């Protein structure tokens, strides 16, 4: 096997799924830059029609693409199908967003001519995708950027290249020119080359805070390059008084363990007022233990598949043991049924008595319980993080939620809903270590084009009335 070959393995079976050669980044950027002027010069209506064709191609291949996502990520097939639906739906949402966020305006000003506002594309955009939603999340950058008139170099995660390649094939089947959307196969080296390449006009990244900060640092001296960072979260879900304890437990499970906890919006910390701890645990712990963990294509359908690979499973197991060693009390254990495969059972542990809880994103099915005396203490604890992506309040009155909403530092704040499952029709992003104030989803249009203000007259008309000699 060549050192230039990237191989993808199925997490659930360990079998090889796909292989491909690493991309020559310099050649790809050169091709993209040559393709950009023609693509940017196309009428907006034409670019919109092209991405609508792309949606139709994805729709035609929906079953095969969903199975590929399930095999390469390990997520259950039912969930992979929802990801494909999100890819399709993103197109019309992005078209609407472009019209609302980056439309044209003209303001007639009589003798002073016309004042106009239009938007221009940046140029060649690097899209760096994650492994947890290998089609939907990069697509959320790619489609708005194409509509705006940019060309794309999409580097999928080295853990999910097969889905990335399949997604780009759908763009090409829709007759979008091959150099306008390219897939860049490779690992961290190819990602670094893309970020640093002078021919790249913007970097649109979804992934860990560690990598996002490295990108930010690398480009700190280059303010001309647009950078949008969508990073992770140490997200709190707060439970206060509610009679609907069973529903609260279901919302917590959805928040913490959907996608095996591999969502940037997954609940990592369950903060519970003391009066709710006992009744909540009576519902939550049996429910968590009843979740089916299994092969993504098996029947009956599992709630959780494996995490992405064995290295990730090893690190999560070590993190769980570290929390227990530091004083955490296991309520449900993180178990690994097969030591050779990355399946993990959902873990819940009480970390209230750990003096300095680590403020990190444990990207997997580990939920920490923190007991607090009241809602004000819960809000303070929820904000005890450098991250600020998602937060939910379960229970309480409208007044409680108003207090929660006003004081929580996060870009997504929900009431009696999970921390995850955000709508593509709203902006998506966080503060602190969760992002750099470039929210994606509906607001992705904002970083895909820049505003140009103009004043215009059909003929030159001017005179200098003051300070001129006779």
Tell me the C-alpha distance between 64 and 11, whole Å.
Answer: 18
Superfamily for 5-231+435-455? Aldehyde Dehydrogenase; Chain A, domain 1 (3.40.605.10)
Fold match flag (5-231+435-455 vs 235-415): no
Query: Beta strands of 32-185 (E only): which ranges?
Result: 105-108, 114-121, 124-128, 151-155, 181-183
> Does pTM surpass 0.85?
yes
Per-residue model confidence (pLDDT) at position 16: 98
* pLDDT, the chain, mean: 97
Domain ranges of the chain: 5-231+435-455, 235-415
Per-residue model confidence (pLDDT) at position 148: 98
The DSSP string of 371-387 is EESSHHHHHHHHT-SS-
Beta strands 329-332 and 267-273, pairing class:
unpaired
Give the DSSP letter of residue 250.
H
Contact 168, 182 (CB under 8 A): yes
Tell me the C-alpha distance between 161 and 325, whole Å.
Answer: 37
Both tokens of 215, joined, read 């990108």
Contact 217, 227 (CB under 8 A): no
Distances from the Cα of 440 to the Cα of 51, 94, 137, 141, angstroms: 18, 11, 9, 8
Active site annotation includes 264: yes
Look up the CATH number of domain 235-415. Answer: 3.40.309.10
Cβ-proximal residues to 364 (8 Å cutoff; 6+ apart), any chain: 260, 261, 262, 307, 312, 313, 316, 344
Using alpha carbons only, what angle is made at residue 441 by residues 221 and 346, rounded to the nearest 5 degrees? Answer: 100
- Cα 336 off chain centre by: 27
Which stretches of the chain score pLDDT less than 50?
Answer: 1
Placement of tokens 């602190």 in the chain: 432
SS3 at position 408: coil
Give the DSSP letter of residue 219.
T
| Span 108-150, pLDDT tens digits | 766 678 889 999 999 999 999 999 999 999 999 999 999 999 9
Tell me the C-alpha distance between 425 and 105, whole Å.
Answer: 23
Tell me the C-alpha distance between 215 and 425, whole Å.
Answer: 27
SS3 at position 389: coil
Cβ-proximal residues to 129 (8 Å cutoff; 6+ apart), any chain: 137, 138, 154, 155, 156, 157, 160, 164, 206, 207
Peptide bond into 300 cis (omega under 30): yes
Contact 330, 366 (CB under 8 A): no
Cβ-proximal residues to 77 (8 Å cutoff; 6+ apart), any chain: 66, 67, 70, 296, 297, 301
**What is the maximum alpha-carbon separation in the chain?**
95
Closest by CA to 249, choosing from 208, 217, 287, is: 287
Cβ-proximal residues to 118 (8 Å cutoff; 6+ apart), any chain: 104, 451, 452, 454
- Catalytically annotated residue among 57, 190, 230, 283: 230
Both tokens of 384, joined, read 């005890």
Placement of tokens 């084009």 in the chain: 449
Tell me the C-alpha distance between 88 and 57, whole Å.
Answer: 9
Per-residue model confidence (pLDDT) at position 328: 98
| Span 14-36, pLDDT tens digits | 999 999 999 999 999 999 999 99
Contact 349, 330 (CB under 8 A): yes
- Catalytically annotated residue among 158, 264, 283, 448: 264
Helices 62-73 and 44-60 sit at what angle, rounded to 10 degrees? 70
């Amino acid at each position: 096997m060549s050192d230039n070959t990237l191989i993808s393995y199925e997490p659930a079976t360990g079998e090889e799924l796909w292989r491909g050669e690493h991309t020559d980044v310099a050649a790809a950027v050169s091709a993209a830059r040559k393709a950009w002027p023609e693509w940017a010069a196309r009428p907006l209506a034409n670019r919109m029609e092209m991405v609508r064709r792309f949606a139709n191609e994805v729709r035609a291949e929906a079953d095969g693409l969903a199975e590929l996502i399930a095999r390469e990520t390990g997520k259950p097939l039912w969930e992979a199908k929802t990801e494909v639906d999100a890819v399709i739906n993103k197109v019309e949402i992005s078209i609407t967003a472009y019209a609302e966020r980056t439309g044209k305006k003209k303001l007639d000003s009589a003798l002073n001519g016309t004042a106009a506002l239009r938007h221009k594309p940046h140029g060649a955009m690097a899209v760096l995708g994650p492994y947890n939603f290998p089609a939907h999340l990069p697509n959320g950058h790619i489609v708005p950027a194409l509509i705006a008139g940019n060309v794309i170099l999409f580097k999928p995660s080295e853990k999910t290249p097969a889905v990335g390649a399949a997604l780009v094939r759908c763009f090409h089947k829709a007759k979008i020119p091959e150099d306008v959307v390219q897939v860049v196969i490779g690992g961290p080296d190819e990602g670094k080359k893309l970020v640093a390449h002078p021919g790249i006009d913007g970097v649109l990244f979804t992934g860990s805070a560690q990598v996002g900060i490295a990108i930010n640092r690398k480009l700190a001296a280059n303010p001309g390059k647009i950078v949008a960072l969508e990073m992770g979260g140490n997200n709190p879900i707060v439970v206060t008084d509610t009679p609907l304890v069973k529903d609260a437990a279901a919302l917590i499970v959805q928040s913490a363990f959907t996608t095996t906890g591999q969502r940037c919006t997954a609940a990592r910390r369950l903060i519970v007022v003391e009066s709710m701890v006992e009744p909540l645990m009576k519902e939550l712990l049996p429910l968590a233990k009843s979740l089916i963990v299994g092969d993504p294509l098996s029947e009956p359908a599992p709630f959780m598949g494996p995490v992405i690979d064995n290295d990730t499973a090893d690190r999560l197991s070590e993190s769980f043991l570290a929390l227990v060693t530091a004083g955490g009390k296991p309520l449900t254990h993180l178990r690994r049924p097969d030591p050779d495969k990355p399946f993990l059972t959902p873990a819940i542990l009480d970390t209230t008595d750990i003096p300095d809880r680590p403020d990190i994103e444990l990207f997997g099915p580990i939920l920490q319980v923190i007991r607090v005396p009241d809602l004000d203490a819960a809000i303070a604890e929820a904000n005890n993080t450098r991250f600020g992506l998602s937060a939910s309040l379960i229970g309480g009155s409208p007044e409680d939620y108003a207090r929660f909403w006003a004081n929580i530092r996060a870009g997504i704040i929900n009431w009696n809903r999970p921390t995850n499952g955000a709508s593509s029709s709203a902006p998506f992003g966080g503060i602190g270590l969760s992002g750099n104030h470039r929210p994606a989803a509906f607001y992705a249009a904002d970083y895909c084009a820049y505003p140009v203000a103009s004043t215009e007259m059909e003929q030159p008309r001017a005179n200098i009335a003051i300070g001129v000699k006779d």
